[in-house]
A = this chain, B = another copy of it.
Amino acid sequence: MPTNHQFRLAARPSGLPKRSDWKLTEEPVRDPGPGEVLVQALYISLDPAMRGWMNEGRTYIDPVEIGAVMRAYAGGRVVASQNPAFAVGDHVTGVLGAQEYALLDSAAAKGLNKVDTKLVPLPVYLSVLGLTGLTAYFGLLEVGQPKAGDTVVVSGAAGATGMVVGQIAKLKGCRAVGIAGGPEKCRFVTDLGFDACIDYKSENVIQALRKHCPNGINVYFDNVGGEILDAALANLARGARVVICGAISQYNSKEIQGPRNYLALLVQGARMEGFVVFNYAARYAEAAREMAGWLVAGKLKAKVDIVEGFQTFPETLLKLFRGENLGKLLIKVADE
């Protein structure tokens, strides 16, 4: 049997996770027992939410315990199974952890999704057709409630969720304006069909929003928090909806910067609403079907940013917080 390598949480980080916050361990892979399934990871998903899972204290989910394998979504291939629901060669996605092999008992195996890599490549099941895409779908459509003709603004527009939000907004007849860092990202965003992209590294975001949203913002989908959230609040239209999906600019801060312009909610009769995609679990299949339809029809583009090598995990994760990824960030662990 091969050897399994794992990234375990060694310490709760203060600020950006350091290499010393991780412990790389190895252990032999064992054969599955009754009901168990052994999955070899092929791609590991890197998600901003991971930073929150490393902190102490329960939020919407339990924290990763010190010494435990880091929680991670991943896609892989079944390499051994004593579970009748899975056969060797099946491709699956699910919470496999930051490790090369995951041995799941029958309860954990129920959380796996079998996917057909002949229809769509495995990375896409971790991106547009995975939790990232579902986050964009439910956050925009259910929380943001866009109407045709609305102006939808999304921050982190070149990121995994943001790129999908803007594309769905366009599909629903909205004007889509992205905010991203740097000309390469902005080019990527407008190539996806967004009406405009604001480069927060070189533009005054408040003024640029005023220019690109002359009637104000109807839906603002926030992935970043901080100054950009405040700039959006300063440009809300009456009755606007602000969707709080994440706050990547704040996850490594000792103290969260609250939105100073929150009284714009009062002036504009607007609302700010948060959500966690898990709350829509009962409707994942429905949403994924609609997204797959758009994907196959060429109406929705998926971009994955793939870094090779399991052992790069600690450094690759930091790319998210440094804004170095274009589209969905994945680590390729092994050849398919």
Q: Which residues of A contact B (CB under 8 A)?
A: 59-60, 225, 230, 244-247, 250, 255-276, 279
Contacts and interface: CB of A to CB of B under 8 A. Distances in A.
B275 A274 contact: no
A245 B265 CA distance: 10
B262 A262 contact: yes
Nearest to A270: B274
A256 B262 CA distance: 9
B274 A60 contact: no
Contacts of A267: 59-60, 274, 276
- Most-contacted residue by chain B among A230, A259, A267 (CB, 10 A): A267
Contacts of A270: 273-274
A249 to B, nearest CB: 12
A318 to B, nearest CB: 21
Contacts of A245: 266
A270 B225 CA distance: 17
B265 A269 contact: no
A336 B260 CA distance: 44
B273 A272 contact: yes
A276 B272 contact: no
- Most-contacted residue by chain B among A225, A245, A262, A273 (CB, 10 A): A262
A266 to B, nearest CB: 3
25 contacts: A59-B267, A60-B267, A60-B268, A244-B263, A244-B265, A245-B266, A246-B266, A256-B262, A257-B258, A258-B261, A259-B259, A259-B262, A262-B272, A263-B274, A264-B274, A265-B274, A266-B274, A266-B275, A267-B276, A269-B275, A269-B279, A270-B273, A270-B274, A271-B273, A272-B273
B266 A256 contact: no
A276 B271 contact: no
A273 B263 CA distance: 10
A102 B260 CA distance: 38
Contacts of A259: 258-259, 262
Contacts of A60: 266-268
B265 A256 contact: no
B269 A276 contact: yes
Nearest to A265: B274
Nearest to A245: B266
Given A265-B274, A268-B274, A269-B276, 7 more contacts: A60-B268, A250-B263, A256-B263, A259-B262, A262-B262, A262-B272, A269-B279
A63 to B, nearest CB: 13
A234 B303 CA distance: 37
A275 B267 CA distance: 7
Given A272-B273, A273-B272, A258 B266 contact: no
A50 to B, nearest CB: 15
A31 B241 CA distance: 50
Nearest to A279: B269
A255 B266 contact: no
